[in-house]
Structure formats: C-alpha cells, structure tokens
Structure 1
Amino acid sequence: MMLVHRRGAGRRALSLVAVLIVALSMIAAGHDRADAAPGPSFTNPVVPAPNSADPTLVQYNGQYYYVATTWTSNILMRRSSTIAGLRSASERRIFTATQNTGCCTMWAPHLEQINNRWYIYYSVAPRPGYGSRRTHVLESAANDPMGGVLNLMPNNGWAIDGAVLKLNGALYFHYSAFHADKLQSIYIAPMSSPTSVSAYGTRISAPTLAWERQGQPVNEGSFALQRNGRTFLTYSASYCGTADYKLGMLEYRGGNPLVASSWTKFPTPIFQRSNANGVYGPGHHSFFTSPDGTEIWIAYHANSSASQGCGTTRTTRVQKISWNADGTPNLGVPVPTSKVLAPPSGETGG
C-alpha cells in the first residue's frame, strides 16, 4: 500500500527535515568526547511543559534528539549533548503538518533511524473535533523525500501512536487502533518499506485486564525493547486522563508476529504511579541507550498531581532501567522530581 496525499508543500517541508537531521548527525559524528569531562547531574523533569508529552528521546553519536507532542501543527526538535541540557535547549521547527483541508493538530511524533535514514512517524487529526486520526510519516535524506499517510486500517480508519519494530530481518509497524469490539488496542502491520505497509494491521493486544481499563479501556503508545535475542513490546494502558495511566508489556514468543498467539501479555503493570514520589500517570514512553552503549534509559511523561489529567501539564522525565534475573526489563519506580540523577554512562559535558 503506497503513500497518499503527496504534494509540493510536503516536499519543501520534508527537505527541511532532511537538512536539519543530516546536519545534526554530521555535527554529532565529528564531536570528539574522548577527553571531555563527565556530563552534569540533573533532576526531572528534563523537558518542562507544555511541549513535553508523548516523548521520543534518541541518543545518536553522543547527542540527544528529542521530539514530543506540541498541541499544534508543528513538529519541534531539541538537541543536546547532555540530558541536563535538554531543559534549556532551543526548539527548532522541522515540519508543519497540513492536510488538504486546512490545519490540523499533531501529536506523539516518533523519531527512528532505519538504514542510515531518519523517519518521523506522527499522528494527525484535523481541527476542530479530533475525529479522523491517522498516522503520517516523514523521511529524511532521500533523493525526493515525501511524507504521506500509512494505510493501516480499512476505510481510512483511526490509527495513532505508531512505531517500527525490527524483527527477524523484517520491519513491522505497531500502533493503536479501535477494534470492532470498540476496544482501543495494539495492532501490528507488515512493512514493505519504512514508509509503506503491505497489509492492514492485526490486533495483538486488547485492554482486557482490570489495570488496563481504569478510566477507559486503552492500549496505546507501544515501544519495542530488545535484548539478548528477546523482544518486548511495552505499551501504555488505561486512560491518560487518570493518574492510573501506566505501562504494560508483551513478549514475542516466536512464530508469525502478526498473530496474537505469538505474543504473551505480562499479567501486571511494569511501571505505574508512585504516590510516595509524587508521580502520577507515567506513560507514553521511549527507550534510549547511554552514549557508551552500556545502559538503557526510559523517557516518559507524567504529572505531579493526581488531578492534572491528559493535557499540557505532563512533563518529560527520564531514568535508568535495569534487568531482572529472568531477563525481563525492570523499570523500577518513577523517581521524584527532587532526586538528583547521575547522567547516562559515557555522557560528557558539552
């Protein structure tokens, strides 16, 4: 299924994406960190409101690249050589989402590198109403870069919060959509390229457990985590407007990734609110590696009050994860904003 809605304005905007991301990558590649001092310690949040929900944080060649929901039609990017520096890093507009019929709202951009090119997958809904929500994609550094809509569901159906899974030498696109039973669920579709899917998606997880149904039954915002030959798909569960928004996890058990029986759902949440630490509704996350490749960190949004809900109050926080003896990820407990954290291993002051 090919991309649609190709237009000249998209070419110009996507060229800006290509120029920015390639230029930043070249700067990062030429940055020598061998003799530099360690990076500074920091406290959460690392990016304050309002452009700080649904974060993707990528570490590449010693630089951190950050995108998140802006509540506008603009995709903004921050870059910093340290986690601490993200808070004051300038926001650069790299794309303005448009549709054939006027302005729209963009959210949950996901930044991904595939085969030495960068892609941003993002959700779009026309204003007002937030009705027809679909997933779009940008590509950088192509001969003729072009953005468009991924045809993920029949009848141009609602599909959001998408990201790429690299598994068994193939690409898959996992995202959130509504099933015929009205449950917002996790779907997966095969990809014929980083900008196109070859079939509609199939459901691999539905919000059937009690902890996935607080406020509303929801599975969304999935992100892959792979280690030692195992593949985990972590996702947000329950309604984001509640303090009980949290993370759950699936594990791929072999076989066809497009079949639900190839995935096993863990029976309890892996990351959730901490009243003691003053962290509520932690979710919609991404994972990134430390500059020296020895650590995995989580970036997520959360509120500082149980009543703040699903809006511009959510801020981006990060913390290091660990691994259980059985090989599963241990995300721990969301840390309080008063806790001083050491920087990721291998980070240097910049």
Structure 2
Amino acid sequence: MDKNNYRKTLYNEPFIRNRADPYIYRHVDGTCYFTASVPEYDRIILRRSSTLLGLKDEREITVWEKHKKGIMGAHIWAPEIHYINGGWYIYFAAGETENIWEIRPYVLECLDEDPITGEWKELGMMEPFDEYTFRDFSLDMTVFEHKGAWYCVWAEKVSSGKKISNLYIAGMESPCKLSTEQVTLSAPDYDWERVGFWVNEGPGVLKHEDKIYITYSASATGECYCMGMLSIKADENLMDKNAWKKERTPVFQTDRENGIFGPGHNTFVKDDDGNRDIMVYHARQYDEITGDPLYDPNRHTYLMEVGWNQGKPVFDVEHNMKP
C-alpha cells in the first residue's frame, strides 16, 4: 500500500519520529516528560514540555549514555521515567558490551528537583527478592502505585526450554528493590502472541473507575506486533494471577487502511485538562522491512485518545479521526 494513501490526522500521523518504546510521564505540576528508545540503542533521552503536544518540538537532552564495556553497554531499551517518594527514577533494559543479548533491567536515580539538569546516579540492576527473578532476558519494566503500595511489572524469558517471554508482577520494597517473589501475569497462550516469537512484553498500566488494565505487546516486532490486554477489579489482590482477566483477541493491531503497522509498546497519560486518557505507542508507516525489524529505525511515537465502551477501553483509530 502507498504509505501516503490514507487520510492523515493527529492520530495516525507520527507524533515524534524515530522514537520507539515511548513513555510519557505527567508530573504533579502538569509538566510532561518524554523518553523512548533511540534507533542507535546507545543512550537515554528526555524531553520536557508544559503541554502534551508541546513535547513534539521540545529540545531533546541526553541524560545518560551506555557504558563502553561490561554491563549497560549495549541495547539500551525502553526507558521509563517515574517520580517516587521525592526522587526521579528511570527504569531501562540493557545488555552487556561483550554479550549484547544479556538483557536485564537497570535503574537510574536523580534526587535533584530538575531531572533534565540534575545528576543521574546508577543504582545498578533492579534487585530481585529471590534467586529466580531476572535470571534470563528481562526487559520492559514499568512500575505503578495502588492503594499506597508500589508494584513492578516486566517481561522475562523462561530460563529453560523454549525461550518464551512472559509478563510478571511483584511488589516493591523501594524504587530499586522488589519485596515479593514474581507472579506470572500472562504467557503467550494464543496464536496471535506467537507469530515469529512467543512474546508478551511492553506492559502499560491504565486505571479507570474501579478497574486496572494492563496492556502489553505480543509476537515479533514487525507487522505482526500487536496489543493484548489484562484487567482486574481495583479491590482485588493484584498478586493473585487468577484474579486477572485476559482478552482472547488483540485489542489493537496493524491497521493498513490508516497506515499503522505493528503498533505496540504503549503507555498512557492524561490530556492537558486531565479528563481524557491518551495512549502513547509506537508503530511504522509501512510493512516492507529489510533485515531484522528490530534494527529498522522507523518506529515512530503515536498518540491515540482512548475510547470507552461500558467501562472498557477501546483503541480505535477511526474513533479518533477528527477533522
């Protein structure tokens, strides 16, 4: 399909180009912070704006660069910035210079008021609670607060047999240490989660009324990349895997008519009025990829207003087609 042969709007045109695995955090003062994977996978960047849409044209600052050897020396992926108990924290995945696929989750901390100009300190790998967590390929870590407690969700491959990537959840003792054993939230059970690779990754948390939703990405990173969703009632035990409901079909996938290919690795942020939920995700404008899709630089950041149908989120490009 001709990538220009579709109706262009705010919601199916790239918001920020060449930035994959996007994350936007809105601070208590309304300021928005943006970070994402860069195509070179070699650094962590931040943008800041007083408005959501203003992030598009703001100057980008590099706050941390990969090591020249050893850990945190390759594949700097999927950073997220969070503000926890008076400090700024960036969670990201990284490999080793000598073993680029030895991917693990790491933490940076900034205790200055301004995360753009402040000093970022390396806290090392996220500290597990037990000897079984983070023993294999682990990435896409996100954290969230619920009823005064903090939780961590991430993707990790099983350490034996077929290298399946599952989603796990654990409690947090501190911003850099888990307080519980891991609990499996989701495994790639369905055919649409097993295209190319058996993958669940890229969790994003959305709260609405009396529900908590976790969206995630599935399959390989080409056109087959798509989004699934889990949900739980807010008064249930988040550490009870049986309390979570998993959708049988993808909630968002390639939309050829609107020029969106392989959408996924999303997160959520409120609009400037604080009334509407906006999904932030990445996708391509085409499906003809030469070589490994992972190294194709043209995954762009997109925005989409979340629709709601009987209390359930709807991710529909057509719903967002505004004149």
TM-score for the superposition, normalised by structure 2: 0.83
Q: Match of 1:45?
A: 14
CA separation of 1:132 and 1:296: change in aligned 2, threshold 3 A: same
Q: Is residue 120 of structure 1 aligned with residue 100 of structure 2?
A: no
Q: Secondary structure at the match of 2:242?
A: helix
C-alpha distance in 2 between matches for 1:293 and 1:169: 21
Residue 287 of structure 2 corresponds to residue 306 of structure 1: yes
1:321 and 2:301 aligned? no
Tell me whether 291-300 or 98-107 shows the greater mean CA deviation. Answer: 98-107
Which residue is 2:315 aligned to?
331
- Whether 1:172 and 2:141 are equivalent positions in the alignment is no
* One-letter amino acid matched to 1:55: P
2:47–2:55 CA contact under 8 A, matched in 1: yes
Q: Which residue among 244, 250, 261 is the counterpart of 1:263? A: 244
Matched residue, 1:78: 47
Distance 1:215 1:201 in 2: 26
Match of 1:281 in 2: 262
How many angstroms does 1:215 deviate by?
Answer: 2.0
Residue by residue over 1:3-53, the C-alpha shift from the partner in whole angstroms, topping out at 9 and shown as x without a partner, is xxxxxxxxxxxxxxxxxxxxxxxxxxxxxxxxxxxxxx956311112xx00
8 A Cα contact 2:127 2:176, kept in partner: no
Whole-Å separation in 2 of the counterparts to 1:83 and 1:169: 27
Distance change in 2, residues 1:195/1:334 (3 Å): farther
Deviations 1:232-273 (A, max 9, x none): 111111111x21211111112565433321211011111111
SS of equivalent residue, structure 1 residue 269: coil
Which whole-Å CA distance do the structure 2 matches of 1:243 and 1:135 have between them? 26
Q: Provide the residue aligned with 1:18 in structure 2.
A: none
1:38 paired residue number: none
Matched, 1:296 2:277: yes
Count residues with an aligned counterpart: 295
Structure 1-normalised TM-score? 0.77
Q: 1:107 and 1:123 mapped to 2: Cα distance?
A: 5
Higher relative contact order (CA 8 A, sep 6+): 1
Structure whose residues are more often helix by fraction: 1
Q: Which residue of 1 aligns with 2:115?
A: none
In structure 1, what is the equivalent of residue 26 of structure 2? 59
Deviation at 1:204, TM superposition (A): 1.5
Assess if the C-alpha contact under 8 Å between 1:188 and 1:202 holds in 2. Answer: yes
Is 1:157 the counterpart of 2:131? The answer is no
Question: Structure 2 residue aligned with 1:69, among 15, 37, 48?
Answer: 37
The alpha-carbon deviation at position 154 of structure 1 amounts to 4.1
Q: Which residue is equivalent to 1:217?
A: 198
Deviation by residue 1:31-81 (Cα, 9 ceiling, x = unmatched): xxxxxxxxxx956311112xx000001233343211000233311111233
Unaligned runs of 5+ in 2: 1-8, 113-118
For residues 272-323 of structure 1, give each alpha carbon's deviation from its aligned partner in whole angstroms, at most 9, with x where no partner exists: 1101111100000110001221111011000011123333110001021121
Q: 1:141 to 1:151 in 2, by over 3 A?
A: closer
Which runs of no fewer than 5 residues in structure 1 stay unpaired? 1-40, 342-350
Q: How far apart, CA to CA, are the structure 2 residues paired with 1:297 and 1:243?
A: 23
SS in 1 for 2:275: coil
User: In the alignment, which residue of structure 2 is the partner of 1:196?
Assistant: 177
Check if 1:133 corresponds to 2:112. no
Measured against aligned partners, the alpha-carbon deviations of 1:140-180 in whole angstroms (never above 9, x if no partner) come to: 21799552111344474321000013234321110000124
Runs of 4+ in 1 over 6 A off after TM superposition: none
Provide the rounded CA distance (Å) in 2 between the counterparts of 1:63 and 1:255: 32
Cα distance per residue 1:210-251 (max 9 Å; x no partner): 1111222110000111111211111111111x2121111111
Query: Residue 253 of structure 2 contacts residue 263 of structure 2 at CA under 8 Å; is this kept in 1?
Result: yes
2:3 is matched with: none
Q: Secondary structure at the match of 2:257?
A: coil
Distance 2:98 2:253 in 1: 32
Q: Distance in 2 between matches of 1:63 and 1:125?
A: 31
Contact 1:247 1:271 in 2 (8 A): yes
Structure 1 residue 188 displacement after superposition = 1.1
State percent identity of aligned pairs. Answer: 31
Partner of 2:80: 110
Indicate the SS of the match to 2:258: coil
